[in-house]
Structures are given as structure tokens and as C-alpha cells.
Structure 1
């Protein structure tokens, strides 16, 4: 029997003036599951993520946490529940070292004095648990590679022991090796029993790590797919709303050229 969802959206809608950004959206995330949220630009992915993260409040519908309705009015409410969000810009401070970034705003103190030794020890333990390789936890963030910066941002999200982690385009602008490192980390989050929402335009990444794929189109659900029983073409058709699109036509031309 499948585990009960830790996070569920039931008929969530969101309007911005005359613009209907989300309409009756459903989504479930279970412990130890990677759910990829995909859709074209303007499909409503960012609005949905910000609604879960407490930046936006839904106009209609219900957000459930571990089976009970909850109200998320601000980002602190989401964090208190156990939702951590890693946005695409990462929001890292280049002038601080790894320890300083991991505990920014959550500094450990001994009375009124910063517990630098405790934070450094906790940083090493966290990075080791996630198999994140960083030359030193005292190295400035500015000197790290793009992939290392992404993994530090994800590790920072875990300092508060969340149950659901939202990753917004975590492999955008990364090279092949760096992308592999981040995808490995996503799998380790799943192995730790966390629910992961992965927002991505990269179908190869989605098919590599997702358990289920939720498609948004024009602010509405346009299909849920088990990754084991679907393929890129089916997902792209759901994203575009048509079986005949620029992607499939290009693939067809490529196949004809190989004949």
C-alpha cells in the first residue's frame, strides 16, 4: 500500500487580477518520492511553487499537510510545516563561506556567542551524509563551481529537517558532470525519505530521477504519468497540448535522415 501524501493540493486556484494563473490544480507528494512538475513557460509552475512555499496564497482550494488542511500565509509557515524551497537563483552569499551560507539566519549560538565550532561540525556532518564533496567548509562560496553551489543550496535547505524539498530548475546552466552530481543528490534526498518536487524543462533529467510526472498546461493539470510507463514524446504532447508539435516534427526528420 502506497504511503499517504505528506503534501497534497486539492483544487487550488490562483488569480492575479483578471489573469487566472491556476485553475483547480491537484498535486500529491509522498515521502521518498520525486515528483517532476513540468510545463511550458507560463503554464503556472512558478505560481504553484510560490503558493506551496507561502509567497502566494490560493484563492480557492485546500492545501493538506499529512492529511489535514493547513493555511500557509507566509514563507515561515511553509518552513515551520517542513517545506524547503531552493529557487533557481540559489540566494547564496558569495562573500561568506560554506558554513556561513548553510546557517545564514539560523546561526547556532552558545548564549550570545556564535557557536562556530558547532556549526562547522554540523556542516561537515550534513555534507558527508549527502555525499557532497566540497574542498573545505571554510571556502568562500564565490570559489565553488556551479554544481557545488547548487548542492550547497540544497544542503542549506535541509538544515531545518524538512519533509518536502522543492527544487526549481536545479540543473539549469550546469555542465554534464555537474548535472550528474545534482541528480545524484536528488536521488539521495529520496533515499532519505523526503518528498521532492522537481521543476525542470530538461526531459532527460526528469526521466532520469522522477517517480511521477505532473504536467501543467495553461494553469491546469494536463496529466499525471508514472515514469516507468511513459516516454518523452508522451510528456511533450501533454505539455504542448498536441501530438504534432515542433519537437516531434524535428525528431521525425531526424529519424528519416537515418533511414
Structure 2
């Protein structure tokens, strides 16, 4: 039994599509940024979107997060056809997006960034003020529930490593009730060890029942945690797989270009070619 099947057995709703894109397209004038792209995001699963720069990953993120509207196709949230008006609308519908730059204030403490834009208050009228004690305690407990044990939630978030900042952003989305978590290249600027830490918390979000969209150009990272894979190339889908229908080697081959890469390797093979050294060998300085 696969991990996906095990989660489905434990929770029958895990196969309910939280978000579904059906042949979605997006145009900027005459430019086709996305063309007939389909994607399913299920509770308790990770759907990976892979592609090189310019493949359409950023446009896909903007549609799911409510920043841009799609021009064709169908976008459904929990079975309901929808057009998101803006990112706040997406948040209200349970879709949280963690961008690569994280949008944090480096000099503010971890707890302040955790509640940025959603600060609880106490008191009334002129005595109304931020509930700092509650924010500190809630941040600490929310991070611990995700298995993140920071030294001090009062330290500036800019002093954390890139992996730790990603983990705080994931824990924040889980705490504020996200149903779908969209992660934009969370391991792109991280080393091997920090990437592993982030992937562990991505899996923790999945196990907490969220539907996760992992945007990445790294097939090895995607295959470690992914349940579904969509490959984009120049704005169009080049392939779609489930975990049990593709191997890592095949996913990597398709991501790298497949037949195009094989054709390039033949072109780059050594051939006799012209004698550019006039009969001399490289490094021979004899006149």
C-alpha cells in the first residue's frame, strides 16, 4: 500500500479535490503564458509542478493565489467554479501561498512576522494595543506542533537560516487554517541539509491534511515527497504522472528534455572534424 492509499484509508476526504484546474489558459496579449494546463490538488497529498525558467510555473502560482485571473478553462475550489478576485479572496478560501522571497521583515522578531497582518489585540478604545504575550506564546506553540523548536521567538527572523524561515512560513499557513498550501521553489536557494529540513515540514503539512502544491525545478526533491507530478514546458503541459506511474529516472529524463537531450548528446559527441591546429597536437609549441 502506498503512502497516498494509506492516507486515503485513514481519511476518505483525502481524495476530494480541494483545487482543480481544468485546461486553464492565460494570455498576455499575443503571448500564451499558459495553454490547457490541468492540475488536481487533494487533501493530504502533494502535487508537484516541475519546469525550467519560462515554463509557466510563476503564472500558474499567480492564478491559484488569486493574483491573476485565468482567461480560459475552469478553476474549481472544492468543486465550485470560481474566479478569485485577489490574493485576499484566495486566503479567505483557504489558499495560502509562500513565495520564494517569503515577504518577511528581517529585523522584526519571529513572532511579529508570524502574525504580520493578522495581529491580535486587547483592550478597547484608546487602550487598545497588540497582545504581545499571546502572539509570543501562540507562535512558540504553533511551531512546536510542526516539530520546529526555535531557540527564541524574540530573535529577528533575519537571523534564521533560509530553511528555518521557510519552515516558519509553512507553520504560519497551517496555523491560520490554510487548506491548500502553495510553495514557490522552497528549496531553490538552500543546501542539501536545509532542503531536507524544509521537505520534512512540507511532508508534515501534507500529513496535517493540507493539499500542497510544490513548485520546483528539482525532480529529486519532488519525487521524495510528491504524490502527483505535472511537467510544464513553454507554458504547456508536457506530462502528468502519479507517484506509482513514473520512476525518478524517467521523471528526471522528461524534466531534462528527454528526446531533445538525447539529440543534443549526439550532436556533442566527438567527431574527426577539421584540423584546426595544422597537423599539430594541442599543447605542441614546435614551430
Q: TM-score of the superposition, structure 1-length normalised?
A: 0.91
Larger gyration radius, structure 1 or structure 2? 2
Alignment partner, residue 149 of structure 1 = 165
**What is the 5 A alignment of 1:96-245?**
96-111=108-123, 112-239=128-255, 241-245=257-261
Unpaired runs of at least 5, structure 2: 1-11, 270-287
The yes-or-no answer on 1:71 pairing with 2:87 is no
Task: Give the one of 17, 32, 43 matched to 1:31.
Answer: 43
- 1:7 pairs, out of 8, 13, 19, with 19
Higher alpha-carbon deviation: 75-84 or 136-145: 136-145
Distance (Å, rounded) in 2 between the aligned partners of 1:130 and 1:98: 15
Shift of the alpha carbon at 1:147?
1.2
Shift of 1:235: 2.1
Shift of 1:8: 0.4
Distance (Å, rounded) in 2 between the aligned partners of 1:172 and 1:239: 16
**Quick check: 2:170–2:205 contact (8 Å CA) kept in 1?**
no
Give the CA deviation at 1:156: 2.5
User: What's the offset of the Cα at 1:21?
Assistant: 0.5
Q: Is the 8 A contact 2:219 2:255 kept in 1?
A: no
Instruction: Give, in angstroms, the shift of residue 36 of structure 1.
Output: 0.6
SS in 1 for 2:158: helix
Residues 225, 240 of structure 1: CA spacing in aligned structure 2 closer, same or farther, 3 A cutoff?
same
CA distance in structure 2 between the partners assigned to 1:207 and 1:137 by the alignment: 33
* 1:240 CA displacement: 5.1
| 8 Å Cα contact 1:102/1:159 also seen in 2 | no
Question: Distance in 2 between the 1:16 and 1:248 partners?
Answer: 32
Q: TM-score, normalised by structure 2?
A: 0.82
CA contact (8 A) 1:222 1:239 kept: no
Count of equivalent residues:
251
| Alpha-carbon distance in 1 for matches of 2:245, 2:156 | 44
Cα gap change, 1:242/1:179 in structure 2, threshold over 3 Å: closer, same or farther? closer
Aligned partner of 1:60 among 52, 62, 72:
72
Tell me how large the CA RMSD over aligned residues is.
2.0
Q: Is the 8 A contact 2:170 2:202 kept in 1?
A: no
What displacement does 1:17 show?
Answer: 1.2
Q: How far apart, CA to CA, are the structure 1 residues paired with 2:86 and 2:151? A: 36
Q: What is the alpha-carbon distance in structure 1 between the residues aligned to residue 104 and residue 173 of structure 2? A: 12
